[in-house]
């Protein structure tokens, strides 16, 4: 079926062929019948799951739990299972999965495709660190098992491989024991970005996860005035904790439901002030059920809808710790010169080695949001230069604007990934707009 | 504990019914052709709901396989509920269809199910209580030039179901015919339809709820009842000109 497929941020919009098989026979027949690309929930900020003359295979009906070892905490699932359903199953069993991006409808296949991170990347790593093995279907190779022991190279190409190595049919995941049915969230006020970074670097060991929100529309010593959310597990009554946690559903279509958005340069500034005041005046310590705390975006879908059909543009980057002070100074300079207002700025700590095109490394991870448009694009182009100058990287999954040129400059593993992908996927059965854009 | 047989349980409505019945602690026998799909559904249900789920691989368009299955069932006869969700639709279901495709459509949508009902109802004594939910379609409302074989086979099945309702009206064998509107399964995916689709889970929930009633023929969503009335009132000279 032909459909208009959009990226979640609303900036990429193409007519594509999409199919949603419900049986394995239908799935394999589609894979063998021509160029394809797997599609999970379709919630990625860039359009990685569609391409021209390519069939997008929507995997959401392959969402079953196939095996579960209650003693070792090893679980086998199909790749179309979403994180909300996954968590609803494992938590009552006394297990937890530590790497959860903000929204419950994201599929496990999608998480592997981008090797996503959660709120506590510094302490627990990336999604791929918890993948024990996976089954991958590629028309040239059939269904192959990939793990640290078997087809190791394909295993690592697939984790963070944007779905370009094949369609993942099954995934074996390692769970961690549950340390509490609730999350205790403490809010710490900070006066600016530097203070936040200092606090996070010094205190990260005391918390399970730590992230922050900042108002970067204020200049001077208050640049980045904000709040740090520091979280630890907390034991609470399971019956009470599981009560009424409902997972919502937003798609790229429903996100852009409002023709006209509410955010502009004026309202973005107001929104930031209002949110910060509300958070600073609110309760400094909260006990939140784990099912709810795991997905901070759930229930806040209106934020994305208020950008309207025009959409938003997010820029997420990692700047090495050593380069952060210089970057922060330069960032302040260009932001002040631009006079642009942003709706969000958030920080996290990151730890890891660069590999292929995975969004990882050691440093400060910062994400900013602004209404889509020419001015934002120009500002982000300036930011690209700043990120490269400071040996940082931008997150490919968040940004449909990035081209191969920028990615080559940022990611030392670009050529290695490309060469290995072409070697494995020489028949070129998989294709997407992302592959085209990054010249992979 | 209650139990049920679901025929066509590997995907779509059958799979949703399996999940719905599992939430009500039913033990299940799931029947379909594809081993991998059936295994995935049964493992998932067992892990999530901790009920007993057995599977049986069966090509329901092959009558000899249906015979063998009924022989096996006769030895136990423990099952009290049957949900028959088998259905097959092909692209360009109009005139000039090849013999094998024609036969497969008729066998899957009518012959095999009618044959199964013919045998299974005979296995139970009139005092034993069993329930059969027969999934029909709103395609049976009035013939049209699209999906010709599918709607004809479904109409035959619908007719057969009503005949059985008449025969067993005074016994413990209850047969419910559910004329389903558009359901968001692979049969409807991506098609431009005149009315909204319902989710398989929504339909399954309704079908389960209806098993507790004495209603013989049900339209779901309910507004199809009125569409049926309107369509049947349209005079032929106008109806023949409608394209849908």
Q: What is the model's pLDDT at position A56? A: 95
Full DSSP string of A292-317: HHT-TTTT-THHHHTTTTT-EEEEEE
Beta-carbon separation of B189 and A20 below 8 A: yes
- B41 vs A contacts (CB less than 8 Å): 64
- Strand locations in chain B, DSSP E? 3-7, 27-32, 53-57, 81-84, 130-137, 173-180, 217-220
Chain pair A-B, CB pairs under 8 angstroms: 46
Q: Which residue of A has its CA nearest to B16?
A: A61
* Residue among A23, A59, A93 with most chain B CBs within 10 A, to mutate: A23
Please name the helix (run of DSSP H) or strand (run of DSSP E) that holds residue B157, with its range, or none: helix B148-167
- B190 to A89: CB separation less than 8 angstroms, yes or no: no
Taking residue A282's Cβ as centre, other Cβ atoms within 10 Å add up to 10
Cα–Cα distance for residue pair B100/A257, rounded to 1 Å: 46
A170 interface with B at CB cutoff 8 Å: no
Of A267, A181, A188, A201, nearest in space to A230 by CA: A188
Distance of CA B175 to the CA centre of its chain: 12
Read off the pLDDT of residues A17-28 as tens digits, 9 standing for 90 and up: 999 999 999 999
pLDDT over threshold 90, residue A385: yes
- pLDDT digit string (tens) for A182-201? 999 999 999 999 999 999 99
Residues of A in contact with B47 (CB under 8 A): 65, 67-68, 89
Q: Which residue of A has its CA nearest to B189?
A: A20
If you average pLDDT over residues A91-108, what whole number do you get?
94
Specify the pLDDT at position A208. 93
Whole-number Å distance between alpha carbons of A6 and A13: 4
- What pLDDT, on the 0 to 100 scale, is given for residue A399? 92
Exposure string (b/e) for A84-94, b if CB count within 10 Å is 16 or more?
bbbbbbbbeee
Q: Closest chain A residue to B190 measured between Cα atoms?
A: A1
- Whether residue A64 and residue B189 make contact (CB cut-off 8 A), yes or no, is no
With CA atoms as reference, report the closest residue to B224 among B151, B109, B141, B134. B141
What's the pLDDT at B126? 73
pLDDT digit string, tens, across residues B219-244: 999 999 999 999 999 999 998 888 77
Closest CA to A223 of A324, A304, A131, A332: A332
The answer to whether A247 and A84 have CB atoms below 8 angstroms apart is: yes
| Contact yes or no for A24 and B11 at CB 8 A | no
**Partner-chain residue, chosen from A24, A25, A65, that has the shortest CB–CB distance to B44:** A65
pLDDT digits (tens, 9 = 90+) for B106-130: 999 999 999 999 988 888 877 788 9
Q: Give the pLDDT band (50/70/90) at residue A3.
A: confident
Residues A273 and B114: their CA atoms lie apart, in Å, by 68
CA distance B162 to B149: 20
Interface check for A25 against chain B (CB to CB < 8 A): the answer is yes
Test B43 with A19 for CB contact under 8 angstroms. no
- In this prediction, residue B190 carries a pLDDT of 72
Interchain pair B43, A26: CB under 8 A: no
Instruction: Return the residue matching tokens 């494995």.
Output: A424
Secondary structure element (H or E) that encloses residue B200, with its range: helix B200-210
A219 near B CB under 8 A: no
In degrees and rounded to multiples of 5, residue B96 shows phi and psi of 80, 20
pLDDT in tens, B151-179: 999 999 999 999 999 999 989 999 999 99
Please, are residues B192 and B243 in contact by the beta-carbon 8 Å criterion? no
Q: Which of B224, B153, B231 is nearest to B183 (CA)?
A: B224
Closest CA of chain B from A90, distance in Å: 10
Mean local confidence (pLDDT), A102-122: 95
Give residue-wise pLDDT tens across range B82-100.
999 998 888 888 888 899 8
- The complex's ipTM? 0.91
Query: Which chain B residue has its CA at the smallest distance from A22's CA?
Result: B11
Distance, CA of A376 to CA of A395 (rounded, Å): 16
Strands A55-58 and A13-19: parallel
Verify whether the Cβ–Cβ distance A22 to B36 is below 8 Å. no
Using pLDDT thresholds of 50, 70 and 90, give the confidence band for residue A241: low
Min Cα–Cα distance to chain A from B44, Å: 5
Long-range contacts formed by A31-37: CB under 8 A, 24+ apart: A31/A57, A31/A137, A31/A138, A31/A139, A31/A167, A31/A429, A32/A139, A35/A428, A35/A429, A35/A430, A35/A431, A36/A167, A36/A429, A36/A430, A37/A163, A37/A164, A37/A430, A37/A431, A37/A432
pLDDT value of residue B1: 65
Report the share of chain A in percent with pLDDT over 70: 98
CB contact under 8 A, A19 and B189: yes
* From B34, B47, B190, residue closest to A25, measured CB to CB: B34
Report chain A residues whose CB lies below 8 A from the CB of B11.
22-23, 61
Query: What are the chain B neighbours of A62 within 8 Å (beta carbons)?
Result: 40
- Kindly list the residues of chain B whose beta carbon comes within 8 Å of any beta carbon in chain A: 10-12, 15, 34, 36-37, 40-41, 43-44, 47-48, 185-186, 189-191
> Largest alpha-carbon pair distance within chain B?
57
Residue A8 is predicted with a pLDDT of: 93
Work out the average pLDDT over A75-89.
96
- Which chain B residues are within 8 Å of A64, Cβ to Cβ? 40-41, 43-44
Is pLDDT at A239 greater than 80 in this prediction?
no
What lies within 8 Å, CB to CB, of A48 at 6+ separation is: A37, A113, A114, A162, A163, A397, A432, A433, A434
d(CA B244, CA B227): 13
CB-based contacts of A189, cutoff 8 Å, min separation 6:
A226, A227, A280
Residue B79 has a pLDDT of 86
Record the pTM.
0.93
Distance between A67 CA and the closest CA of chain B, angstroms: 7
DSSP H helices in A47-192: 83-90, 108-114, 121-124, 152-158
State the pLDDT at residue A413.
95
Confidence (pLDDT) at A315: 97
pLDDT of B35 over the 60 cut: yes
Write down the pLDDT at residue A225.
Answer: 95
Query: A77: which 2 tokens?
Result: 């699932």
Q: Please tell me the number of Cα atoms within 13 Å of A31 on its side-chain side.
A: 26
Average pLDDT across chain A, whole number: 93
8 Å CB contact of A23 and B34: yes
Is A425 at the interface with chain B, CB within 8 A?
Answer: no
Query: What's A191's DSSP letter?
Result: S
Q: Which residues of B touch A61 (CB under 8 A)?
A: 11
A23:B43 CB<8 A: no
Tens digits of residue pLDDT in A38-66: 999 999 999 999 998 899 999 999 999 99
User: Six-digit token pair at A354?
Assistant: 């660069």
Cβ(B28)–Cβ(B104) under 8 Å?
A: no
Give buried/exposed letters for A361-385 (b at 16+ CB in 10 A, else e): bebbbbbbbbbbbeebeebbeebbe
| pLDDT surpassing 60 at residue A242 | no
Q: Which residue of A has its CA nearest to B200?
A: A61
For A271-329, write each residue's pLDDT tens digit: 999 999 999 888 889 999 898 899 988 888 999 999 999 999 999 999 999 999 999 99
Cβ distance A371 to A307 under 8 Å? yes
Please tell me whether the peptide bond between A7 and the residue prior to it is cis, using omega within 30 degrees of 0. Answer: no
Tokens standing for residue B51: 């009920």
Q: How confident is the model at residue B76 (pLDDT cuts 50, 70, 90)?
A: low
Rounded to whole angstroms, how far apart are CA atoms B115 and A356? Answer: 59
List the one residue out of A5, A8, A39 whose CA is nearest residue A21. Answer: A39
């Amino acid at each position: 079926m032909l459909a208009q497929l959009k990226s979640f941020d609303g900036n990429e919009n193409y007519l594509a062929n999409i199919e949603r098989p419900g049986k394995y026979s239908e799935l394999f027949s589609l894979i063998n019948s021509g160029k394809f690309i797997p599609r999970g929930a379709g919630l990625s900020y860039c359009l990685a799951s569609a391409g021209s003359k390519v069939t997008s295979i929507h995997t959401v009906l392959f969402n079953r739990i196939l095996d579960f070892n209650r003693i070792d905490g090893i679980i086998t699932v199909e790749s179309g299972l979403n994180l909300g359903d996954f968590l609803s199953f494992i938590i009552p069993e006394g297990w937890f999965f530590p790497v959860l991006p903000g929204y419950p409808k994201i599929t496990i296949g999608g998480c592997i495709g981008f090797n996503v991170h959660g709120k506590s990347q510094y302490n627990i790593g990336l999604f791929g660190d918890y993948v024990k093995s996976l089954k991958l279907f590629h028309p040239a190779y059939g269904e192959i098992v990939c793990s640290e022991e078997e087809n190791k190279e394909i295993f690592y190409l697939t984790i963070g491989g944007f779905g370009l190595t094949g369609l993942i049919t099954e995934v074996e995941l390692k769970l961690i024991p549950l340390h509490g049915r609730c999350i205790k969230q403490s809010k710490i006020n900070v006066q600016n970005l530097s203070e936040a970074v200092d606090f996070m670097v010094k205190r990260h060991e005391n918390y399970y996860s730590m992230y922050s929100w900042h108002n970067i529309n204020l200049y001077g010593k208050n640049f980045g005035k904000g709040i740090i959310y520091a979280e630890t597990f907390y034991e609470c009554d399971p019956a009470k904790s599981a009560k009424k946690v409902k997972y919502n559903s937003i798609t790229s279509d429903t996100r852009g439901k409002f023709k006209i958005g509410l955010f502009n340069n004026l309202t973005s500034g107001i929104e930031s002030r209002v949110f910060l005041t509300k958070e600073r005046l609110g309760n400094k310590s909260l006990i939140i059920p784990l099912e709810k705390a795991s997905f901070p975006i759930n229930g806040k879908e209106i934020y994305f809808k208020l950008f309207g059909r025009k959409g938003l543009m997010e820029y997420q980057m990692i700047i090495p710790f050593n380069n952060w002070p210089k970057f922060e100074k330069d960032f302040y300079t260009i932001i002040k010169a631009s006079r642009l207002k942003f709706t969000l700025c958030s920080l996290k700590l990151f730890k890891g080695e660069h590999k292929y095109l995975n969004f990882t490394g050691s440093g400060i991870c910062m994400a900013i949001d602004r209404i889509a448009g020419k001015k934002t694009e120009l500002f982000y182009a300036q930011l690209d230069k700043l990120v490269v100058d400071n040996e940082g990287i931008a997150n490919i999954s968040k940004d449909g604007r990035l081209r191969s040129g920028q990615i080559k400059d940022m990611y030392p593993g670009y050529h290695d990934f490309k060469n290995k992908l072409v070697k494995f996927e020489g028949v070129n059965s998989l294709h997407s707009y992302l592959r085209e854009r990054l010249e992979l | 504990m209650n139990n049920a047989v679901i025929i066509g349980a590997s995907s779509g409505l059958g799979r949703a019914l399996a999940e719905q019945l599992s939430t009500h602690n039913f033990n299940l026998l799931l029947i379909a052709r594809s081993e991998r799909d059936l295994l995935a559904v049964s493992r998932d249900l067992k892990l999530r709901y901790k009920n007993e789920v057995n599977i049986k691989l069966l090509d329901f368009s092959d009558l000899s396989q249906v015979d063998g299955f009924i022989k096996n069932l006769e030895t136990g006869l423990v099952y009290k509920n049957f949900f028959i969700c088998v259905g097959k639709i092909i692209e360009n279901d109009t005139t000039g269809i090849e013999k094998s495709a024609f036969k497969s459509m008729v066998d899957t949508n009518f012959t095999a199910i009618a044959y199964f009902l013919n045998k299974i109802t005979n296995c139970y004594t009139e005092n034993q209580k069993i329930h059969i939910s027969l999934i029909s379609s709103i395609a049976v409302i009035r013939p049209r030039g699209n999906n010709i074989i599918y709607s004809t086979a479904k109409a035959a099945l619908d007719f057969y179901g009503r005949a059985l309702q008449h025969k067993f009206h005074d016994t413990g064998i209850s047969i419910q015919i559910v004329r389903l509107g558009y359901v968001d399964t692979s049969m409807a995916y991506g098609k431009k339809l005149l009315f909204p689709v319902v989710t398989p889970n929504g339909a399954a929930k309704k079908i389960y709820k209806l098993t507790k009633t004495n209603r013989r023929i049900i339209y779901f969503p309910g507004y199809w009842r009125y569409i049926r009335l309107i369509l049947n009132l349209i005079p032929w000279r106008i109806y023949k000109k409608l394209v849908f």
